[in-house]
Homo-oligomer: A and B are copies of this chain.
């Protein structure tokens, strides 16, 4: 079952967001209105960035900051806990025009990890992990907070509840801006109960996050499988060779499914075509295009 809520070609700019593919529909059902509101706020924040003349990378990071700050999504405050009870976060940001990229992994203190990824994108590095990643974010002015700030009682309970569904949701955004620039970003707390030090696909450029001149992609799901498929890069490669973004996204998820794993992704191509497919039961998501009203889906 691949679901999609994409629409055909349209005016730019276009912004699409996701808050993680999973099977946590029962939990989301109790918070539907809050989730719609958070998704809408993320879209509005991205739109405001574009209205201010900022580019697609800034729109992507603006949307992700809102979702990181929303406690019910698995990134920033409220992220899933590692097996030792701490929060470890990763994020990545990529600009399509020159494939400049920045990613952080295993950060513990950076209030908004996507802004840490931004700091790396603006540095000579592409991937910085651990304490130095927090320090680089701090030097770029991103507030640093105790790890306890990110830990919510809800996630403490879920870590204790071995029967809870596997949490591996993530947040992400892709954008085609008014100048035709593509960008993608992703941010996550990883998988609930993961061993400390485990890094998924989110900060692995080409796996969970990718943008080039043809498409921008952000993935969510079983990160190890997305790495083994270079899933995000695969979508862009197929689009480059003439596939529709819908067909390319479906094919990438098919590769993940063949490995007996699951997830979803969002993708936008250089003409503004969007695909938002997932092979889990739910993937909260949102879409805004120039000249239309923003739309959000939770269940």
A→B interface (CB under 8 Å)? 98-101, 105-106, 124-133, 136, 195-200, 204-207, 210, 223-224, 227-230, 233, 237, 259
Contacts and interface: CB of A to CB of B under 8 A. Distances in A.
B195 A125 contact: yes
Contacts of A106: 129-130
Could you say how many copies of this chain the assembly holds? 2
A210 to B, nearest CB: 8
Main secondary structure of the interface of A (DSSP, over half): mixed
Contacts of A101: 227-228
A227 B131 CA distance: 22
A198 B130 contact: no
Contacts of A223: 126
A96 to B, nearest CB: 11
A232 B60 CA distance: 28
Contacts of A230: 205-206, 210, 230, 233
Contacts of A199: 105, 127-129
Contact of A132 (B99, B133, B198): B198
A204 B129 contact: no
Contacts of A205: 204, 207, 227-228, 230
